[in-house]
Amino acid sequence: MSAQGAVLVLNAGSSSLKYQLVHPDSGEVVADGIAERIGDRASSITHEQDGRTETDEVSLPDHRAAIERALEFFRAHGTELADAGLAAVGHRVVHGGRSFYEPTVITPEVIAEIERISPLAPLHNPANLVGISAARELLPDVPSVAVFDTAFFHGLPDAAATYAIDRAVAEEHALRRYGFHGTSHDYVSGQVARFLDCPIGEINQIVLHLGNGASASAIAGGAPIDTSMGMTPLEGLVMGTRSGDIDPGLVLHLHRAAGLSVDEIDTLLNKQSGLRGLCGENDFRTITEQIEAGDADARRAYDVYIHRLRRYVGAYLVELGRVDAIAFTAGVGENAASVRADALAGLEHYGIVVDPDRNAVRSREARRISPDDTEVAVLVVPTNEELAIARQSSAVVG
Ligand code: ADP
């Protein structure tokens, strides 16, 4: 498959790099890959193209090395990306702060501004910037575009975006609710409208993005009116390793009474909490097996996860007033039938019903799991953040 007009989508994490070469119009994927444990001696890169999957256990000291190795894989498949006529390199950038709310062609000024807002996302934006610099160096003639995870939620109503803290402090430090996973919520809500064959402006929906990170959003006529993640991706739902909502007083107590440093609390809440904190495991497949084997910790982790999810569904039902669709997406949402059933159990009074047979079907297609005649369409809609980034990147470079 030719790479002419395709977009190379890059998602650079602190020690990983995911990439995909995809045609924005057709959605055809030419190749994808992932480099893991970058900076570690035991790093590896896996590349999939032309029906073949190749893994290379090789030292990748930095993101530049990972992109270089990916370019070699492409070369071995007969594609020299530097002169293949790519439309763009599309970068996922986690935090756009108050500066960025549209896909943005990357210039030195844009890089400087992403750097300036990095304190808002210290774990993410610096890694994204490393990926941007490396790609610009290795593919200098291809335009680079930044697509921000926060962008979709830029227009959140003031009441939903504002923390009830001293205004002067909030202003000075840009403290507000930004929301994340925006590319996915945007894409999935659009797919919901397509599936229902209804203009997006006419439907109210709740999107539940349940992956390792997890977030919920309430979308009225295509515009988000609330979302569960806040100033950082730590707020909201129980996640694989993040706590989601906690009493902020707990943080103060951990510092004052338990003597934990700010960095230790950061690690505790982001990496050692959520499902992993509750039962030692963050993969839902394993947790499900453990529950079946009678593991009480796994059971409690599941119950806490579902309890929080239902709390958000309830809040968004009230905020939206009328709900036409509820969509489940991402790794857990697309695959874990029990989560979908338990999240919406007992809501028949609200017109929300999950049909057990439909819910049990496994498929990679968008599908309805509620009966045809209920008020609220409950859907499973696979997300595709790479395609959404590719489309936005290609649109902005014309
Ligand atoms: P992210 O992009 O946030 O890393 P994903 O959307 O890929 O996450 O979701 C990853 C999670 O999805 C895994 O940690 C696992 O818990 C869950 N998952 C994946 N496949 C299944 C499955 N078949 N059944 C239940 N859960 C699954």
331 annotated as ligand-binding: yes
What's the CA gap between 396 and 23, in Å, rounded? Answer: 15
Distance 169 CA to ligand 1 centre (A): 38
Return the DSSP state at 197. T
| Residues 379 and 369: beta-carbon distance below 8 Å | yes
Tell me, using a 6 A CB cutoff, whether residue 241 lines ligand 1. no
Atom 12 (ligand 1) nearest CA: 331
pLDDT in tens, the chain (398 residues): 788 999 999 999 888 999 999 999 999 999 999 999 998 888 999 999 999 999 999 999 999 999 999 999 999 999 999 889 999 999 999 999 999 999 999 999 999 999 999 988 888 899 999 999 999 999 999 999 999 999 999 999 999 999 999 999 999 999 999 999 999 999 999 999 999 999 999 999 999 999 999 999 999 999 999 999 999 999 999 999 999 999 999 999 999 999 999 999 999 999 999 999 999 999 999 999 999 999 999 999 999 999 999 999 999 999 999 999 999 999 999 999 999 999 999 999 999 999 999 999 999 999 999 999 999 999 999 999 999 999 999 999 98
Find out whether 290 and 223 touch, Cβ atoms under 8 Å. Answer: no
Q: Is residue 216 lining ligand 1, measured as CB closer than 6 Å? A: no
Of 84, 55, 83, residue with least CA distance to 69: 55
Query: Relative to the CA of 214, which ligand 1 atom is closest?
Result: 3
Tell which CATH architecture fits domain 198-385.
2-Layer Sandwich (3.30)
User: Quick check: 151 and 96 in contact, CB under 8 A?
Assistant: yes
Alpha-carbon distances, residue 135 vs 9, 90, 319, 387 (angstroms): 11, 10, 42, 19
**What are the DSSP E strand ranges found in 3-127?**
7-12, 17-22, 29-36, 44-49, 52-57, 88-93, 104-105
Q: How far apart are CA 233 and CA 307, in angstroms?
A: 19
**Phi, psi angle pair for 27, to nearest 5°:** 80, 5
CA distance 378 to 180: 23
Q: What is the pLDDT of residue 41?
A: 85
Q: Is 354 left (phi over 0), alpha (psi -120 to 50) or beta?
A: beta
210 CA distance to ligand 1 centroid (A)? 8
Backbone angles phi, psi at 339, to 5 degrees: -60, -45
101 CA from centroid of ligand 1 (Å): 28
Distance 264 CA to ligand 1 centre (A): 26
Our answer on whether the CB atom of 331 is closer than 6 Å to any ligand 1 atom is yes
| Predicted pLDDT at 3 | 87
Catalytic site includes residue 149: yes
Q: Ligand 1 pocket, 335 CB below 6 A?
A: yes
> CA-to-CA distance for 205 and 225, rounded, in angstroms?
10
Angle between helices 125-138 and 108-116 (to 10 degrees): 160
pLDDT, position 398: 84
Q: How far, in Å, from the CA of 42 to the mean position of ligand 1?
A: 24
Looking at the chain, list the stretches that DSSP marks H as alpha helix, in order from N- to C-terminal side: 63-76, 108-116, 125-138, 158-161, 167-172, 182-196, 248-256, 262-271, 274-279, 284-292, 296-320, 330-335, 337-343, 356-360, 385-396
Classify the phi-psi angles of 206: left when phi > 0, otherwise alpha if psi is within -120 to 50, otherwise beta.
Answer: beta
Q: Which superfamily does 7-148 belong to?
A: ATPase, nucleotide binding domain (3.30.420.40)
Query: 382 CB under 6 A from ligand 1?
Result: no
282 is in an annotated binding site: no
Q: Is 210 annotated as a binding residue?
A: yes
| Cβ 330 under 6 angstroms from ligand 1 | yes
Ligand 1 near 283 CB (within 6 A): yes
Domain with CATH 3.30.420.40 in the chain: 7-148, 198-385
Confirm or deny that 284 is annotated as ligand binding. Answer: yes
Catalytic entry in 62, 149, 247, 324? 149
pTM of the model: 0.95
Q: What is the pLDDT of residue 114?
A: 96
